[in-house]
Amino acid sequence: MSRAPRFIMRPMSNHSLTPPFGPQDVEVLERETPFQGFFRVDTLTLRHKHYNGGWGEPVRRELFVRPPAAAVLPYDPVRGEILLVEQFRVGALEWRDTPWCLELIAGIADKDGESAADLIRREAVEEAGLTLGTMEPIAAYMPSPGGTNERLQVFVGHADLAGAGGIFGCPDEGEDIRAVTVSADDIPALLESGQVDNAASLIALQWLLLNRARLDAAWGGQ
């Protein structure tokens, strides 16, 4: 017979959104790397402090290890257009009618000393033939911290999208990427359609809806 989980209510600081713990409250007892390919999987045995003030028992966790990543939404305030890229994604095979996904231009930091901004400027040329102008950070977030250490920085970038679009990518990396321009006025319908269903793109598109007027005022003359 299964037992219901036991919940113990203890007094805590009211309304505080600051965690009471830090890295010093985690003890990694063992770390192994059972898989190393294009990506890496680590297995950690660790224990950490509990809200009751004591230490928990050791637990085993698998961690999908990825380098930092960055993504950008190119925006042309003069034409009122954005640019998205479409490419095959193996992770979408089981979840979508088609595994070809509409996304932001994005990449992982695989060059020593390359900043997130430099990375995304390089990727914009490789994936869409674009030279970006002014960029503004939108957000930095962890897609799934329960299982991966990946952290992704998202930007919006000023771009001249006249004549933009086409087929791009690095063939030696197996890339086959279609860049497409979309009217910024169509963003609400695009979001409602469900065609865009990855976190970075959803964040950036909704951010632009909230900040478009300000960007138009700031970038309209560039």
Q: Which two tokens stand for residue 28?
A: 């990694």
Contacts of residue 60, defined as CB under 8 A and 6 or more positions apart, other chains included, come to: 43, 44, 45
Q: Which residue reads 């490789």 in tokens? A: 126
Strand 40-48 to 59-65 pairing: antiparallel
Which residues are annotated as catalytic?
Answer: 173
Q: How many angstroms separate the CA atoms of 108 and 174, rounded?
A: 16
What φ, ψ does residue 156 adopt, rounded to 5°? -110, 140
Largest CA distance in the chain: 70
Question: At residue 151, what is the residue type?
Answer: R
Helix (H) or strand (E) holding 161: none
